[in-house]
Amino acid sequence: MSARVSVEPSGRGTVVEPLIFDKSRPGHRAAAIEAPGVETATAAELLAGAALRQRPPAIPELAEPEVVRHYTRLSHMNHAVDLGFYPLGSCTMKYNPKINDELAALPGFTWLHPYQAEADVQGILELMWELEQALLAVTGMCRASLQPAAGAHGELVGILMIRAYHRDHGGAERDTIIVPDSAHGTNLATAKMAGYRVVELPSSKRGLVDLGTLAEALSERTAAVMLTNPNTLGLFEDDILEITRLAHEAGALVYYDGANLNAIMGKARPGDMGMDVVHMNLHKTFSTPHGGGGPGAGPVAVCARLEPYLPTPLVERRDAPGADADGPAGAGFHLVGDHPSSIGRVRGFYGNVGVLVRAYAYMMRLGGNGLLRASEDAVLNANYLRVRLHDTYDVPFDRMCMHEFVASASRQKHTTGVTARDIAKRLLDFGMHSPTVYFPLNVPEAIMIEPTETESRDTLDSFVDAMLRIDRESREDAAIVLEAPHVTPVRRPDETLAAREPVLRWKPAAESPEIS
Ligand SMILES: *Cc1c(COP(=O)(O)O)cnc(C)c1O
């Protein structure tokens, strides 16, 4: 039972780390300090017989430093934005200033409880109100709900509001949503999930919405057009004003997927483009770390005609006691939940408040000019990479892009057999995360690159060096690329086997003996 676990040297000079269960040794534990003069009772003395377990739990036994080292070693096996470049297109994996985390961890925020009386939580309500005002200033919309927990959740909320609007305005038969094929995948999923028929709009040769095709697709059945802008090719829709005009003429509303607002903030506002609903991803543009799936926040902002449908409660500011006879009295900030047309609550309590604090801190620290500069740098960085790579890799829509662009490994695949996937794997050997590959679907061997505004010229140049070198290797010694990665703790797992027969749980080899 206490046989030593062997450690294997790996390519990177780290050790291959066994499961914590396999590291367990009977009797290893953290120091248990007895409090002098305090009577302690055993479980047997406290619990009735039937409630007592018959066998010890199969949990690992380790001393504190063993646990700390185990998890620290595991953390070193992952790539992270705090370790290296992470140009994952459509994800905005930018570096997030640590001060945002520090501020969100202030005890004044972390010790709040959602059931506290309104009078005791004026600070956080004020922050939420100001954050809403800041997001409205950036988007040019009328009001916003901070409740949705992610971008896709914001989309669903937006579409449910559009449905409620049509129901109240004689449009109950509108059962179709038009989604361009350059939209983010969640747009289609959202429309389907909300029960709509989806009409996919093929892009023009320029990778944009074609006005003629759109006009043909619009009808008295269209509830909405969902636009990802910039689209997943990183392109800003040239005819965006015409798109909203045509849609509105047909009685449809227009949804703006604003997950990647760092392409346009400070430069252009969805409200000025005629958009009816916009969602934002605070965990992308507004600087909350989101690797590993969360937590996030996807506030959704609306134009005046959709305001009555927003999820509740909303934070409202009252300037003087009793200023509004219908609402709660008293100056200050109030949670108001009695909007009769609201689609209701979409999230427990007030959303992911910690994420809201980070976004607030980020926006206040940058200010209007800082946000504008962030957009300009995001776009400049993407274009810099595009131009430095476009002689070596195909760039199907090779013109000014926004925060990201899509290259392709088609040339490499046809001449050397090296695919986008191989290039992605080889980048790991250079300490860089791969870009998004094989998305969007309308570009074969797609490599979708989003450097973000936080990277320096030096980092961008090292990425270019790596990409150029991988292309050279493909031509001169393709095996290096085809067999990559070479230095990671795990190389190329059998993805089919992992999907078909996943091993997700550790099971004890044999049952532990009964407690005597
Ligand atoms: C990331 C993203 C989404 C989805 O956001 P989640 O928070 O992951 O649900 C939707 N649209 C676009 C354009 C995105 O980049």
**pLDDT higher than 50, residue 230:** yes
Share of the chain above pLDDT 90, in %: 78
322 pLDDT above the threshold of 70: no
Query: Apex CA 389: angle with CA 388 and CA 395, to 5°?
Result: 125
CB 131 within 8 A of CB 146: yes
Question: Per-residue confidence at 50, pLDDT binned at 50, 70, 90?
Answer: confident
Judging by beta carbons within 10 Å of its beta carbon (0-12, 13-18, 19+), is residue 20 exposed, middle or buried?
middle
- CA-to-CA distance for 72 and 74, rounded, in angstroms? 5
Question: What pLDDT score does 512 carry?
Answer: 62
37-46, 199-208, 458-467, range with the lowest pLDDT: 37-46
pLDDT at 97 over 50: yes
Asked if the model's pLDDT at residue 304 lies above 70, the reply is yes
Ligand 1 neighbourhood includes 281 CB (under 6 angstroms): yes
Predicted confidence (pLDDT) at residue 166 exceeds the cutoff of 60: yes
Average pLDDT value for residue range 436-442? 93
Tell me what pLDDT residue 12 has.
47
pLDDT at 516: 57
Percent of the chain exceeding pLDDT 70 equals 93
Give the pLDDT confidence score for residue 331 in this predicted structure: 84
Query: Residue 92 Cα, ligand 1 centroid: separation in angstroms?
Result: 10
**Residue-level pLDDT at 122:** 96
Whole-number Å distance, alpha carbon 259 to ligand 1 midpoint, is 5
For the stretch 8-31, pLDDT in tens is 444 444 457 899 999 999 889 888
Bridge-based pairing of strands 300-302 and 143-145 is: antiparallel
Query: Which atom of ligand 1 lies closest to the CA of 283?
Result: 7
pLDDT given for residue 10 in this prediction: 45
Q: What is the pLDDT of residue 486?
A: 95
- Distance in angstroms (rounded) separating the CA atoms of residues 124 and 130: 10
Choice from 91, 94, 181, 184 to test ligand 1 binding pocket (greatest atom count within 8 A of CB): 184
Confidence of residue 109 (pLDDT cuts 50, 70, 90): very high
Ligand 1 pocket check for 448: Cβ under 6 Å:
no
For 403, the token pair is: 């925060």
Look at residue 4 and tell me whether its pLDDT is greater than 70: no
* The pLDDT value given to residue 265: 97
Lowest mean pLDDT among 111-115, 137-141, 407-411: 111-115
How far is 186 from 191, CA to CA, in rounded Å?
9
pLDDT-derived band at 207 (thresholds 50, 70, 90) equals very high
User: Which pLDDT score, from 0 to 100, does residue 57 have?
Assistant: 83
Q: Looking at ligand 1, which residue's alpha carbon is closest to its atom 12?
A: 259
What confidence score (pLDDT) does residue 116 get? Answer: 95
Closest residue to atom 6 of ligand 1, CA basis? 151
Is residue 135's pLDDT more than 60?
yes
Give the whole-angstrom CA distance, residue 134 versus residue 227.
23
